[in-house]
């Protein structure tokens, strides 16, 4: 899927949580209704059969309960996408990524392999840590292969790992630094890979066991064996040397591999569809890291943008929502701006018409295990929707999100937000205040309810049932605010219809 991902290490977040968030977007011209459900152990298939490929597998291990965001229409398969299991381990899959002909010629994709449709169901119910998630999926990729290039996130209370597939059977992964954020917009994004660590200690990196041989045999390493000579006084005004001094891109140092050059794509289309999204998120997270507007090495068309960056302030849930809803506010690329770019200069927004949902999993280390994990969900186009949190250690989810149908229905969270977006987009200025009030009201009320619920004791009540009741309250609040917003946006759009006429009957 054409998606966008943001990962936040525990020392970079506002409360010490690990944060993992991703938009699922449909292909151009398609809109995929989604629902939020719980898959209980008795509902997990013991024999898995893919719909889009011939892949099948007997699942003999005892599964854990987990949440998921599958398609409302199962005709194309499960597509679980994002969830948290009962061990408070989260998975987000997938970020469709790009590669190059050298990689795909050396290790062709496998038509009968696994893909985005399958990965959550095959991995999340069987892991107890983020690291285990990388290891399990790695084994599946090596054994069965994949028919597409993907990036996958795994998260627990202590760490986040980002994994990328390479060709049909190979893969690599890096641990997100605790004090950093990672931005991922549909590209092979890992920049530098420490092969010595990945094939040895595996403290910060992992990869398929034969990756070094695969690289050597197929001449994939494009870096030079050279040392960069840097004189702070003589070279201070040379922007190219400044950039090279700050980044190991294009050169080998110790056993660092320039993975992006080796495995990634370098197409002109990347500079309108992919790199601008990374550029905008990075410049928001760390405005003073670089001259984002004038330095070509850090501009929207740069292939050298860093995979991870330390933010200038701790990152909140609201920051994540803003970034993954953004349309290049404050830049010439804002499609809703006063002077939007001409058609030939437009770039792909992050908050796009075909966002299906945004899910943020937040694993909070300071709370008991039964309520440590929250899954924040927004559905429809992110520019116009609102973010609602739900506890994940439950056996069911609220009907408002769980019973999404194929037919539009304003009493379902997905469809109500899809309607709000379609109405408000054409009348952005007139509806902007209603959208802003809606988003802020839901956020404030959600935080208030979570503060209350986090401190509520069960007092003999079944904890799972209590959390389900809390989720019902959160869904009821979201439904109230969403219906209110839909009414206001419908009113504004009705007033601005082309057949409007100011004179009424006498």
Nearest partner of 445 among 489, 479, 478, judged by Cα: 478
Token reading at 236: 């201070």
State the catalytic residue, choosing from 3, 207, 284, 485.
Answer: 3
102 Cβ contact partners less than 8 Å away, ≥ 6 residues apart: 218, 219, 220
Distance in angstroms (rounded) separating the CA atoms of residues 248 and 207 = 20
Asked if residues 200 and 29 have their Cβ atoms less than 8 Å apart, the reply is no
Half-sphere exposure in the Cβ direction for 131 (13 Å, CA)? 9
Instruction: State the angle between helix axes of 130-144 and 116-123 in degrees (0 to 180), rounded to the nearest 10.
Output: 130
Distance in angstroms (rounded) separating the CA atoms of residues 21 and 102 = 31
483 Cβ contact partners less than 8 Å away, ≥ 6 residues apart: 410, 416
Phi, psi of 257 (to 5 degrees): -105, 135
Judged by DSSP in three states, 376 sits in strand
207 is catalytic: no
Asked if residues 211 and 194 have their Cβ atoms less than 8 Å apart, the reply is no
Token reading at 482: 């969403």
| DSSP-H helix ranges across 304-398 | 317-323
Helices (H) and strands (E) in the chain, counts: 14, 19
Nearest partner of 323 among 410, 411, 387, judged by Cα: 387
Neighbouring-strand partners of residue 363: 18, 373
Question: Rg (Cα) of the chain, in Å, rounded?
Answer: 23
175 Cβ contact partners less than 8 Å away, ≥ 6 residues apart: 159, 160, 161, 203, 204, 205
| Longest CA pairwise span in the chain (Å) | 86
Give Cα 194 to chain centroid, integer Å: 24
Asked if residues 375 and 460 have their Cβ atoms less than 8 Å apart, the reply is no
Catalytic residues: 3
């Amino acid at each position: 899927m054409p998606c966008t991902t943001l990962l936040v290490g525990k020392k970079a977040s506002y409360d010490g949580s690990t944060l993992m968030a991703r938009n699922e977007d449909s292909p151009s011209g398609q809109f995929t209704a989604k629902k939020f459900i719980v898959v209980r152990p008795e509902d997990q298939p013991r024999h898995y059969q893919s719909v889009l490929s011939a892949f099948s597998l007997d699942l003999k291990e005892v599964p854990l309960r987990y949440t998921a965001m599958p398609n409302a229409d199962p005709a194309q398969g499960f597509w679980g996408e994002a969830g948290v299991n009962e061990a408070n381990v989260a998975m987000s899959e997938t970020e469709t990524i790009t590669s190059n002909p050298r990689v795909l010629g050396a290790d062709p994709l496998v038509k009968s392999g696994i893909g985005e449709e399958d990965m959550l169901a095959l991995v999340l119910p069987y892991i107890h840590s983020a690291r285990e998630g990388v290891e399990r999926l790695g084994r599946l990729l090596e054994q069965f292969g994949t028919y597409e290039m993907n990036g996958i996130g795994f998260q627990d209370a202590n760490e986040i790992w980002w994994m990328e597939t390479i060709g049909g059977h190979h893969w690599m992964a890096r641990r997100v630094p605790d004090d950093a954020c990672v931005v991922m917009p549909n590209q092979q994004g890992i920049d530098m890979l420490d092969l010595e660590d990945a094939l040895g200690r595996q403290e910060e990196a992992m990869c398929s066991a034969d990756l070094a041989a695969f690289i050597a045999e197929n001449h994939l390493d494009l870096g030079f064996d050279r040392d960069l000579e840097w004189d702070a006084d003589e070279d201070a005004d040379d922007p190219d040397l400044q950039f090279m001094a700050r980044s190991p891109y294009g050169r080998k140092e110790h056993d660092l591999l320039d993975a992006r050059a080796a495995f990634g794509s370098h197409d002109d289309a990347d500079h309108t569809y992919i790199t601008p999204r990374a550029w905008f998120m990075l410049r928001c997270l760390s405005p003073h890291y670089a001259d984002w507007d004038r330095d070509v090495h850090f501009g929207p068309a740069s292939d050298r943008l860093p995979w991870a960056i330390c933010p200038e302030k701790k990152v909140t849930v609201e920051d994540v929502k803003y970034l993954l809803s953004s349309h290049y506010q404050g830049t010439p690329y804002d499609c809703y701006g006063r002077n939007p770019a001409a058609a030939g200069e437009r770039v792909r927004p992050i908050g796009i018409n075909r966002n299906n949902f945004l899910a943020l999993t937040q694993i909070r280390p300071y709370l008991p295990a039964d309520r440590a994990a929250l899954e924040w969900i927004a559905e429809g186009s992110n520019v116009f929707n609102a973010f609602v949190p739900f506890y994940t250690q439950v056996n069911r989810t609220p009907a408002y999100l769980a019973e999404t149908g194929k037919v539009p229905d304003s009493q379902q969270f997905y469809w109500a937000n899809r309607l709000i977006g379609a109405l408000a987009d054409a009348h952005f200025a007139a509806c902007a205040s209603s959208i802003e009030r809606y988003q802020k009201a839901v956020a404030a009320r959600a935080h208030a309810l979570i503060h209350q619920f986090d401190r509520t004791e069960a007092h003999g009540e079944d904890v799972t049932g209590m959390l389900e009741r809390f989720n019902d309250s959160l869904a009821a609040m979201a439904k109230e605010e969403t219906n209110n917003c839909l009414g206001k946006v419908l009113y504004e759009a009705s007033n601005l219809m082309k057949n409007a006429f100011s004179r009424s009957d006498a």
